[in-house]
Amino acid sequence: MEQLMEFWFGLVNSRKRFLWVLRPEIVPENDRGHDDVPAELVDGKKKEKKEDKSCIAWLDKQQNRSVIYASLGSITSTSSNQLVELWYGLLNGKTNFLFVVRPNSVIGKVGEGKDVVKELSKKSKDRGYIVDWEPQEAVLNHLAIG
């Protein structure tokens, strides 16, 4: 459902005309059945995500152009195995990295994403920093990113 909402807000924010068709089979089923379209899709109000600004302090400690920025974005979903493989690629790259991963971007059991991200964060302490939502403009403009 989160992906559907992100897609919706992307369309709305693009300020272009579009035709919105919602097929019942793409709306996740819950205890009330299929037709549970979130109010946010109807009234256009988006719940703001809390940015983790701690990554800026971490970036401040890095040399200029020494950090790889990797993000799954606000729509992408992946399996925990794919996420771990991507993380291994960053880790084996021998370069510091900032990895932005929303816990709900991991396809699987409820809470699995948070557990995987927490475990990867522990194992990344030496060269990597993982957050679930960052102040993107500040990060992309930071001198450490390169």
pLDDT digits (tens, 9 = 90+) for 8-22: 666 666 655 554 444
CA 57 to CA 67: how far, in whole Å? 13
- Give the containing element (helix H, strand E) for 39: helix 39-43
For the cut 60, the answer to whether the pLDDT of residue 32 exceeds it is no
CA 20 from chain centre, in angstroms, equals 24
Is a pLDDT exceeding 50 seen at residue 33? no
- Highest mean pLDDT out of 3-7, 47-51, 67-71, 125-129: 67-71
pLDDT tens profile 119-145: 887 888 888 998 888 888 899 999 999
| Residues 122, 124: Cα–Cα separation, whole Å | 6
DSSP β-bridge partners for residue 68? 97
Which is nearest to 68 in space by CA: 87, 51, 82, 84? 87
The domain defined by 54-140 folds into Rossmann fold (3.40.50)
**Which residues of the chain does CATH 3.40.50.2000 include?**
54-140
Q: Which of 20-34, 36-50, 56-70 has the lowest mean pLDDT?
A: 20-34
In degrees and rounded to multiples of 5, residue 77 shows phi and psi of -125, 150
How many Å from the N-terminal Cα to the C-terminal Cα in the chain? 34
